[in-house]
Amino acid sequence: MDKEHGAFAVPESIRKLTAGKAFSTDGVGMSKAQVMVFEDCVLKIVPYREKNEETVRVMRWLENKLPVPKVLCYECDGERQYLLMSRLPGRMACDAYYLERPDELAARLAEAIRMLWSIDVSDCPRVRDLDTELREARFRVENNLVNLELAEPATFGPGGFKDPEHLLDWLERNRPGYEPALSHGDLCLPNILIDNGRISGLIDLGDTGIGDRWRDIALCWRSMRRNAEGAFGGKVYPDARAEMLFDALGVKPDAEKLRYYLLLDELF
């Protein structure tokens, strides 16, 4: 037990950078990661997976391209990944301040999406296209890793899909057209930071890479809807209509692609 860093004894290289600093724990989001928030940095500890190293490569590639955390130190002991990052300023886009100001919120969400699309991906070190996503989805389905409790009520059961295998089969047979761009991969409101009327940070980059631009639109749209409906805090914001995102972004909703990428996310 490491009294300074919670349940795990962190590597010495990270201990030197955080020793003596006060921290709080962050429980926002669906991840099971242990996250410690210091005044000037954030330490994220997760079980080791090969894609963690890919995430670090993407984060380093994005430095000076987008407002993303700077990698201060990365260590892996074969069981856990320890990622120490700079802490970015700003409030999460799901903050009540923005949900009470839906026009400003929609404009900032659209700004975040356009920032991603503006990046030249010709030398991006990671690809998260549908081949990759469906391959990982199959692994999760075949190893019973899909959490049905987190699925939308209508996804499985009467009127929906029989089970995750049935959904995966549908996804593999109904792939939409591909519109490549830099994709965050989990562009939900808690992963977008806003400060002084501008995007100050994009965080939680575990699925970032070249992907379809509609995945980010779909997840951002759903996140705005869920937050407005009070799914996470209980308070309802009736003026924060998720459809405002499309107006701010200047695109027409593509019902087919929105449905596809929201259903794909049910397997993750």
| pLDDT on residue 51 | 73
71-76: strand order across its sheet: 23-25, 34-38, 41-47, 80-86, 71-76
* Mean pLDDT, residues 133-148 taken together: 97
Q: Which domains does the chain have, with CATH numbers?
A: 12-86 (3.30.200.20), 91-265 (3.90.1200.10)
Render pLDDT for 41-78 as a digit per residue (tens, 0 to 9).
999 998 887 678 899 999 999 999 999 999 999 999 88
**In a 3-state reduction of DSSP, which class is residue 101?**
coil
DSSP, res 149: G
The 10s digit of each residue's pLDDT in 83-121 is 999 999 999 999 999 999 999 999 999 999 999 999 999
Cα 251 to Cα 218: distance, rounded to the nearest angstrom: 12
Catalytic residue numbers?
186
Q: Are 194 and 101 in contact (CB under 8 A)?
A: no
Residue 6, pLDDT > 80, answer no
pLDDT at 118: 98
What is the per-residue burial (b if ≥16 Cβ within 10 Å, else e) of 31-67? eebbbbeeeebbbbbbeeeebbebbbbbbebbeeebb
Tell me the pLDDT band of 169, cut-offs 50, 70 and 90: very high
Query: Does the pLDDT at position 201 exceed 50?
Result: yes
24 burial via Cβ count (<10 Å: 0-12, 13-18, 19+):
exposed
192 within 8 A of 108, measured Cβ to Cβ? yes
Q: Residue 10 phi/psi, 5° resolution?
A: -80, 160
DSSP state of 125: S
